[in-house]
Amino acid sequence: MNDLLKYGIIGLSVVLFAYIIGKAFTYRYRIQDTVVVTGLGEEAFTSDLIVWKGQISVKDRDKQSGYNKIANAHKVVANYLKSQGLPEKAVTFNFVDSRERTYSKYEEGKYVGEYFLDYYLTQDFTVESNDVELVENISRDISSLLSRGIDIDIYQPSYYYTKLDDMKQQLIENASKDALERADNIAKNAGGKLGKPVSARLGVFQITDALGEDEYSYGGAFNTSSKEKKGRITIKVEYRLK
């Protein structure tokens, strides 16, 4: 009876072992019976929105006089932008920031205190427009206001695209088609046929300079300094082979 039980256990163990080995080979075969490809979607485009910022500033020992001066500078800048064909609604002036400046005084190498120098007042402004070329021209020529006594600092414009969501969908579609074509070519060259996709993983969305001078980022690049840009996305797809 004991021998019968012993042989029964051995037989059952052999069957279980064979079943496990068989499943392992089946799983290994299935893994090898797929192909993984990366599709690319890429498109060049021109920015249709420009954001440009600047700052006017004045210095005065009298605070009220300083406010009067910056109000006058504000008026000059606003009139200039309007005269160049820019609508008033495209320009936003921020609140005036006032800061008291002091300087440290020393006598015979010893610190004797802080002394009032003047008031430094600044006002930032932002131009946002779909007329990219117009704002570009204004940003280059506005420095002419310096000759009229306006202390103004201007910054490099930032460029954006208002139809990014539509373009993303198109890029995903293009990347998917590219992945399908690559996988189909591999299957045909291997003498097989392409089956259904098993899995797909989308890469990060990249916006870079159209000339390709930007580096791609792991978290996704978003270029705002170039008017001419390039959108790019990848998709990794695993297909079953027949």
Q: What is the pTM of this model?
A: 0.78
- Say whether 3 sits in a helix, a strand or coil: helix
Question: What letter would DSSP give residue 35?
Answer: E
Q: Which residues contact 26 (CB under 8 A, 6 or more apart)?
A: none
Condensed to tens digits (0 to 9), the pLDDT of residues 74-83 reads 999 999 999 9
Question: What letter would DSSP give residue 130?
Answer: S
Condensed to tens digits (0 to 9), the pLDDT of residues 71-129 reads 999 999 999 999 999 999 999 999 999 999 998 988 888 888 889 999 999 999 999 99
Q: Which residues contact 240 (CB under 8 A, 6 or more apart)?
A: 33, 34, 194, 195, 196, 197, 198
The reported pLDDT for the residue numbered 212 is: 72
